[in-house]
Amino acid sequence: MSSEPSRRLDGKVALVTGSGGGIGKQYALLLARHGARVVVNDIGLRAGASAEAVAKEIRAAGGEAVASTQSATWDGAEELVASAGDAYGQLDILINNATFTRLGDLWDYPQEDWDSTLAVNLKGYFAMIRYAAPRLAAQGGGVIVNVSSASGLGHASHTAYGTAKEGVIGLTRSVARELGHFGIRCNAVRPMAAGQSAGEFVKRAARWSALVKGTMSPRIYALQQQLLHTPERLSTDKAAPLVAWLCTDAAGNVNGQTFELHGDTVTRLSEPEPVRSMSHEGGWDLDLLDRWAPENLVDGLQNRFLLEGIEGLPSITR
C-alpha cells in the first residue's frame, strides 16, 4: 500500500456530523490528518460517542478541532453550520454522517420512530445542506458528502431507515445538479464497516434474521455476514480514505455520484437505467399488457420474496 499522501486539505474547514465515534470518527481523524480544521459534531447518545474526546485526539496529534453537541436536525442545523464559521471563519466541507434508527415490524412501527429516523437521516441532511449552501457558494465552492447505506437497497425490519437512506441518494443527485454551478460538489457513499454500533445492530436484529437472509441481496447479505465472522476485514478506518479523497481537488470532476465502501473494495454504482421497454401506438390496455408484457417487459421475473417453507419468519399479530 502506498504511503499517506501529503496534506491535501490545508486551509480547509470540515464539519462532520455524527463523528464522536464509529465511522464518523474515522472521517474526522483523516480529514484532520490532511490539514483540515474539523468541527466534530455528535450529541453523544451512542455508547462511547464523544465529540470532545475526538476533538482532543485531533488536537493531541497536532491538528485543529472543536467539539459540537448541537443536533444535526432541522431545528439545530442553522446553529450547527454557524458554529463552523464562529470557530474558523469559514466552511469548506460538510460530511452528513449523523444517524438514528429503530428496528421493527412495519405493521407495528410507531410514528414517532418513523419521524425520528427520517428527521435525522434525511430531513436533517437536507437542513444541513440548506444552511451550508450559501456559505459554500459565497466562498466559490465546497464539498458535501452524504452517508447513505446498503439498507436503502431493501432491508426488511428496517423500513424507515432504508427509506431515509435511499432518499439520501435522491437528495445527493438533486443537490449536485442544483448547486454544481456554484462550484459545490455533492456525492454519496454507502459504507459497510464493523464498528461498535454494527455489532450491536446484529444482536438487535436477530429476530428478523431468517427474513433478512431470505430477502436481502445475496451480495449485501454476504458482506453483512463478514461483520459477524471477519470484522477485521471491514474495519471502520477503511471507510475513511474515499470520503477524504472526495473532499480533495483530485476529485474535482466527481459530482452527483454514489459509491459503495466495504473493506478493501471501493465501487462506483451505476445510475438507474431502463432494463426492458416496450411501446404501443395509442397506449396500452390490460389485454394488451397481458399479451405483450410477459415476454417483452417482465420476462424472467419471479417473486422471490414469498419465502415458502422458510421457518422463523415474523407473523402479523394484533
| DSSP assignment string, 113-138 | HHHHHHIIIIIHHHHHHHHHHHHHHH
At 192, list the grid cell. 459497510
At 65, list the grid cell. 478541532
161 carries an active-site annotation: yes
Selecting among 109, 125, 161, 221, the annotated active-site residue is 161
Strand order in the sheet with 13-16: 65-68, 37-41, 13-16, 93-96, 142-147, 184-192, 258-262, 265-268
Alpha carbons 90 and 9: distance in angstroms, whole number = 14
Q: How many CB atoms lie within 10 A of CB 249?
A: 8
Strand partners, 266: 261
Query: In this structure, what are the phi and psi dihedrals at residue 199, rounded to the nearest 5 degrees?
Result: -65, -40
Active site residues: 161
